Structure formats: structure tokens, C-alpha cells
Amino acid sequence: MRMMNKYFIALAVFFLFSCKGPTTRFIPPLILEADGLSFPEGPVFAGKELLFSNCYGMWIGRLYENGRLDTFADLSSMNFKPNGLYWSDNHELWACEYNQGRIIRFNDRGEVIQVLDNNGQRFSRPNDITFHKGLIYFTDPKSYSKEVRDGKIYVLDPMTNEINLFADNLAFPNGLSVTPDGTRLIVCESAENRVVALSLQNPDIREIIVTLPGGDPDGIEFDSKGILYIAHFGGGKVYTADIEKKTLLDSLELPGIRVTNLVFNHDESELFITEAEQNKIFSIRLK
């Protein structure tokens, strides 16, 4: 783990990226927040602290507002590889764990307080996670294939620990987020290079929102205006999309091509982005 002067790096990487679109939401420069990571993923804010997974390193990092970086949870002794994260309103962290196929719950001190499986069996490879109306939704991809559509989404009640299948027949489901009106679950089908919408009332009702040019749509998040932000793994960009018009609006090019995930700060003035080719976390100001 190695921190570098943000302002020096901002100048160094300024010429390595571009913002495209008629009304860009991204305000340069791109700032390097942390490097020397191990496949960073799943960024979430816990108050003013940024938590993120180091998938290959088996630890969850914590980045403080002053730039200090340390470890929130070391999972190496349990052979857990964390991926998508969610920080709940009651100050608990929920994590997808793909090495042993579990869902993990932490307290605010980074201690594991619960490990859930699929009725005594492992899940395939839990990937990303979100909450809606007290329920947890998480993706569980298996085969990376357009033909073998064995990816699933589960719904978990954290009060009872009951887990049920929400949707199946998906081509490597990845990032997910509920629409601001609470009617649809937006999911990235990475093997199809597309983002789809599933009705929360009937997940068999589906529609394609956008298809991306190569690479895999990965982590996603809505802003307060209903604009969807999409991390494009393999494409090296962050896209924004209007899900009602089913159009891409804007894009931000990153120095590395393996853009994994993203999250807004508390007032949406900044976007934090994880990237796994250079193993770094970046931030950029937003309009």
C-alpha cells in the first residue's frame, strides 16, 4: 500500500484521460487517492471513511478523509475474498465473498459477526450487493457465457436470514442497483455487455437499458437525479446513462482499463472509482 501526493498525481494523470459528452458531469483533474492495492472493488462510504475490497489480497481497506490508508478487516486467515460491499444504516458492513461463496456481515470494528451460505451449500461466486426496503439483493454469477445463462440474483432478509431466489437465467450478473422510484432492479449482464432492468414485482419482466461497446459493465450506482453511473471493466471508462431514454450520456476515460466499481461521496460532489489494472482508487469532482 503506497500513498502519493494527490496534487502531483493529478497533474501527472490529467493528460491521460478525457471527458466526453455534450454536457459532461466530470470536472478534471482526476485525483489518485490510493495505490498499491490488490484488485480493488466494492467501494462504499461508512460516514467519511471509504471502505473497499482487495479481492486478491483478502482484506478490506479503509481510506480516511485525510488520505491515510489502513485495514478495516483482514480475512486471510479465513481464506475469504471479498467483492461487493454495502454499509447499512445500522453501521454494519455486508460483503459478497466469492472464494467460498458466502455473504459476510461485519460490525463497525471490522469483526465478522455472521457468515451465510446457500442452505448448507456455497453460492457460486457472490459479486455485488444492494439494499432496498430492508431486503438485501445480491448477484451470484457462475459461467461467463452468453449461451450458458446460469447467473442468479438472490434476496436476503437480514432479520430472519431467509434467502430466496429472486431471478435466474442471467449471463454473468454483476453490479446492481434499485431505480430511484423503487420499481426496478438494474443489473449488469457482463457476458452480454449490457445493462438490463428487472421488475421488482415480477423479475421475468425485463428490458435492455443500454449495451456498451466491448468490455463488461461492472459496478453501478444512481445519483439523486436518477442518472446511472456505470463502471466499464475492460473498456477503461465510466459511463453515465439515462435509463428512461435508454441512452448513454457521457463518459470518463481512466488511465487503466479494468474499471471495477464506483461510489459517490455524501453530497455527490465527488465520484470515487476503483481500477484493477493499475490497482488504484481515483476520484473526480462532479457538476
Closest CA to 269 of 31, 105, 107: 31
The answer as to whether 283 is a domain residue is no
pLDDT for 122: 98
Q: What pLDDT shows up at residue 280?
A: 98
Average pLDDT over residues 31-48: 98
Q: Is residue 286 part of a domain?
A: no
CB burial string 100-114: b at 16+ within 10 A, e below = bbbbbbbeeebeeee
Within a domain: 216: yes
Q: What whole-number distance in Å separates Cα of residue 238 and Cα of residue 19?
A: 10
95 part of a folded domain: yes
Residue 153 within a domain? yes
Among candidate residues 207, 209, 120, 195, the one with its CA nearest the CA of residue 161: 120
CATH number at residue 201: 2.120.10.30
Question: Does the pLDDT of residue 112 top 60, yes or no?
Answer: yes
Residue 237 has pLDDT above 80, yes or no: yes
Sheet holding 82-87, edge to edge: 82-87, 93-97, 102-106, 112-116
CA 101 from chain center: how many Å?
A: 17
Three-state DSSP class for residue 11: helix
Give residue 225's pLDDT band: very low, low, confident or very high (50, 70, 90): very high
Q: Could you count the other beta carbons within 10 Å of the beta carbon of residue 32?
A: 22
When pLDDT is cut at 50, 70 and 90, the band that residue 23 belongs to is: low
Task: Indicate whether 77 belongs to any domain.
Answer: yes
pLDDT at 69 exceeding the cut of 70: yes
Give the pLDDT confidence score for residue 214 in this predicted structure. 85
The pLDDT assigned to 97 comes to 98
Q: Is residue 93 part of a domain?
A: yes
Residue 17's pLDDT is 43
- The total number of structural domains that make up the chain: 1
Is residue 1 in a domain?
no
- Find the domain containing 150 and state its range: 6-277
Main-chain phi, psi angles of 77, to 5 degrees: -70, -20
**pLDDT at 4 (0 to 100):** 46
pLDDT at residue 7 above 90? no
